[in-house]
Amino acid sequence: MSIASAFAQASGGGVGDSGLIGLLPIILMFGLLYFLMIRPQMKRAKEQRQMIESLQKGDEVVTSGGMVGRITKLADAYLTLEIAPNTEVSVQKAAVQVLLPKGTIKSIQ
């Protein structure tokens, strides 16, 4: 018996199984990636979108630039923040990062 025929006899029959077993680690890694990274990121984005849609006049917020202020005017894409007495700035709604509890500005001034 030659070496080539010995190898041919030993590898017979399992071609479909080895392909599936080879893909199994990739499928498991994608599933792990989805549950550890993609799904939580989508959840945070949804919560952020809901928070921005629920903003109202008088809410106290922190922007992505670090400004803390009270909302005085709302438009479709922009809002006006009062950051100090008689000092207002306009920012995009998407720049709002955190909605603060009522009365937070008084406690930090």
Q: pLDDT tens digit string along 40-56? A: 999 999 999 999 999 99
- What span, in angstroms and rounded, lies between the C-alpha atoms of 3 and 23? 30
Predicted model pTM: 0.68
Q: Cα Rg for the chain, rounded, in angstroms?
A: 29
**Which residues, 6 or more positions from 108, have their beta carbon under 8 angstroms from its beta carbon?**
68
The predicted model gives 96-108 an average pLDDT of: 86
Whose tokens are 């990121």? That residue is: 41
Whether the CB-CB separation of 82 and 70 falls below 8 Å is answered with yes
Residue percentage of the chain with pLDDT more than 70: 83
Greatest Cα pair distance in the chain: 97
Q: Shortest CA distance to 47 belongs to which of 96, 90, 91?
A: 96
